[in-house]
Amino acid sequence: MFYTPEEIKGFETQLELLIRKLNFLKKERDIAVDANAKFSMDEEITQLEGQVRDLKGTLSGAHNIRSVDKDSLLLDAARELNIDEDEEIGLLHLVNVDRREMRGKFWDAFDEKEEAKQEFQFYFISACPTQMPPSFAERMVYELLVEELDGDADGLHIITHEDTGRLRIQDLPVGRNARKCQQRFKEYVQERFRFADTQSFDAFIKTGVPKLPFDYVAVAFEINERNWEDFLLEYLQWMIDTFRCPHQEVPTFLFFFVVYIEKQHEGKLTPAQKAIVDGLAGLSQRNEASLLTPLLPVEEGDLRAWLMDLGERNPNKVQQVMDVFLSGLREEDQRLYQDKRLLNMKDIEELQAIVYRIASE
């Protein structure tokens, strides 16, 4: 049997009360003198122990069903959706529930940079992990492939996961200071593009050799706020300066820097968090780079619209998927939904993955 989070919480509260009562009776039984009172307590203790066993069994089953069958239930509900046969479900559908404002901000910045012929473009994305900032970078890379290259993957160089084909978000190359960071980055570029022993990063920037046969190169790095160091702003500035005037043979590079900042969307930044965000904002303003932040929880209506855009027009079937999806949310995520009708992207992407799985079968 499937239990809602509220029902499970009720069972847990009931079990706690029963155990407290059972422990109290056992203590009273130990000090009781009257035989009739002892007999009565023994009977009640036996009953309570049975109730505790039954309730533990119910909870064990409820938790097991919840952990094992949540995806199965959601999979069954999603299978009932009428997905348009002409709708091409690809990797983009793993990450494309609408973030209209931030998506528009990216494309506005991209178009400006293209018109100004900026071969190297820098995008900084800071957000809480619950809002899946690396997925936003991934989304814009997939959209770039469609919008600018008409799906021609040969014109775009990216690093992907071998098992899924998805964009790989890599650790930002860092060292113990700015100089070591620069060294790590040069090594990264030389290794990524497999420079020969006679070729170097500096020669590549000045001469465009070795020539890369791509129109665009997209690079996505990530770093957690807990690993942030003050010299990283100097490092990023060096990176921007280095790529400011590359050789004309060098393709257009898009750098995405994902910076994880816990609960940034709630607006209560610690002094350390504020220093990072302010530093990235200043860096962006000085260098015509783009700061894409904050990423906020998603409105419920955006998820419904995404489901309908797949081809399903019956609100009942959409609601059926939503009901199963919402019942599987963690307690804090359910509170967010109940209070504000908002959803964290980390949860939405689990549903997107299920739809992608169905479409790929």
More confident residue, 323 or 13: 323
pLDDT higher than 70, residue 117: yes
Could you count the other beta carbons within 10 Å of the beta carbon of residue 62? 19
Determine the longest span between alpha carbons in the chain, in angstroms: 100
pLDDT higher than 60, residue 66: no
User: Stretch 305-320: mean pLDDT, rounded?
Assistant: 93
Among 189, 245, 197, CA closest to 219:
189
279-311 confidence digits (pLDDT tens): 999 999 999 899 999 899 999 999 999 999 999
246-280 confidence digits (pLDDT tens): 667 788 999 999 999 999 999 999 999 999 999 99
* Cα–Cα distance for residue pair 142/96, rounded to 1 Å: 10
Among 153, 140, 281, 137, CA closest to 222:
137
* Cα–Cα distance for residue pair 159/172, rounded to 1 Å: 14
Q: Give the CA distances from residue 227 to residues 187, 231, 272, 287, in Å, rounded to whole numbers and listed in that order.
A: 21, 12, 12, 24
Instruction: Please state the φ and ψ torsions of residue 312, each to the nearest 5 degrees.
Output: -80, 125
Return the sign of the alpha-carbon dihedral for residues 117, 120, 126, 129.
positive
Instruction: Please state the φ and ψ torsions of residue 22, each to the nearest 5 degrees.
Output: -65, -45
What integer pLDDT is reported at residue 74 of this predicted model?
A: 87
Task: Find how far residue 298's CA is from the centre of its chain.
Answer: 12
More confident residue, 326 or 208: 326
CB 73 within 8 A of CB 326: no
215-252 confidence digits (pLDDT tens): 999 999 999 999 999 999 999 999 999 887 666 778 89
pTM over 0.75: yes
* Cα–Cα distance for residue pair 159/165, rounded to 1 Å: 9
